[in-house]
Amino acid sequence: MTPQDVITTSPKPADPTEPELVHHPLALSRRSRIKLWLMRWLMRPLIGRLFRASLPRLYKAQLQVSSMKCGDTVGLPVEYRLVGRSPGHVVGSLSASAPVVLWLHGGGFVMPAAPAQHLPMVARLSRELGGAGFLPDYRLAPQNPFPAALDDCELAYISLLDLGVPGERIVLGGDSAGGNLVFGLLQRIRRAGLPMPACAIPVSPVTEMGRGHTPPSRYRLSRRDPLLPIKSMAGLLQLYIQDRDTADPEISPLYMNCEGLPPLYFIASSNEILMDDSVLLAKRTAEAGVPTRCHIWPYLPHAFPLFASMFPEARAACDAMAVFARAQLDAASA
């Protein structure tokens, strides 16, 4: 059975070791189709050039991204501050009695959180859950290669626990490279014997870092993906991994021990080269007895919940994230 076959199966498999895999129907508006076309011909080449840029240009781009204007945070205040010894953006007011969305941002391990995309999404999710959000400002490659980013994400989680936030009140999420860090962090939490979060939401995670040409969706969808240029992926990952063993489960979570993880909700697009990164790991976590959902949405770009202001069709996925997280928080409280 191929990953493409898997995503068309029943959302309620008879085998409890199979993940809930759903291929969503979606009607895309003409305006959204035009935006996808522009993204493919404008943004994808720009990203490709960025990831091949010289170090001075890359550092300049990091500054430009971090200084972007913040998007609509639905009335929640945003402050860059230290949580314990962990710096980052706090959305809303952190409290030990309210849920906290700990979001690990993407950006290919070399870009900081994008205020125009990451902060609005985390704000909406935090508001729906009646809590706050924290986006740790982890160190970036190539200045700080693996494991610096993962070390910082671990510190952020411990800082929330030290603040008095129970693990079962934490919703862990991450997009793209941040989705990779989600699974690295879960392994660290398990190894240290810390309380697990209520759930985890990996959005378009990269889970295989040793083979730029596989999983299969990387070559099958390389021409269709409107955002990610496959030709730049190997060089980008090298900036983060450098001389490390790419089979290390903290680098390639596809090969991790999946036992004991909290409930998982994978989200990816059937139009992105990283689709199978989600599908294959979702199958492994379900086989290990972890409650797993893997929802695949058509047409939309990589990490599309970040682009809900650009693509109205992505808002349904954001709503689904909130529903899932609320159910897991309620279950943990019960």
The per-residue pLDDT of the chain, averaged, comes to 92
Residue 217: other Cβ atoms inside 10 A:
26
- The whole-number pLDDT of residue 5 equals 34
Measured between alpha carbons, how far is residue 50 from residues 43, 56, 112, 187, 236 in Å? Answer: 10, 11, 14, 31, 10
254-283: average pLDDT = 97
Sheet strand arrangement including 78-83: 20-23, 292-297, 264-269, 199-203, 170-175, 100-104, 132-136, 86-91, 78-83
**What are the residue numbers of the active site?**
176, 272, 302
Angle at which helix 118-129 crosses helix 315-333, to 10 degrees, equals 40
Cβ neighbours for 2, distance < 8 A, ≥ 6 positions apart: 216
Contact 271, 298 (CB under 8 A): yes
Cβ neighbours for 279, distance < 8 A, ≥ 6 positions apart: 3, 6, 7, 21, 215, 266, 268, 294, 296
- The whole-number pLDDT of residue 16 equals 65
pLDDT digit string, tens, across residues 205-260? 999 998 888 889 999 999 889 999 988 777 778 889 998 999 999 999 999 999 99
Q: How confident is the model at residue 8 (pLDDT cuts 50, 70, 90)?
A: very low
Domains in the chain with CATH codes: 43-333 (3.40.50.1820)
pLDDT digit string, tens, across residues 93-140? 999 999 999 999 999 999 999 999 999 999 999 999 999 999 999 999
Taking the C-alpha atoms of residue 6 and residue 9, their distance in angstroms, rounded to an integer, is 6
Q: In this structure, are strands 100-104 and 170-175 parallel, antiparallel, or unpaired?
A: parallel
Measured between alpha carbons, how far is residue 295 from residues 80, 122, 313 in Å? Answer: 32, 19, 14
Q: Which of 1-10, 55-64, 273-282 has the lowest mean pLDDT?
A: 1-10
Residue 17 has pLDDT above 90, yes or no: no
- The whole-number pLDDT of residue 14 equals 56
- 32 phi and psi angles, rounded to 5 deg: -70, -35
The residue ranking higher by pLDDT, 157 or 333, is: 157
Give the distance from CA 244 to its chain's centroid. Answer: 22
Taking the C-alpha atoms of residue 127 and residue 114, their distance in angstroms, rounded to an integer, is 19
Residue 134: other Cβ atoms inside 10 A:
27
- The whole-number pLDDT of residue 2 equals 37
- 199 phi and psi angles, rounded to 5 deg: -170, 175
Give the distance from CA 285 to its chain's centroid. Answer: 16
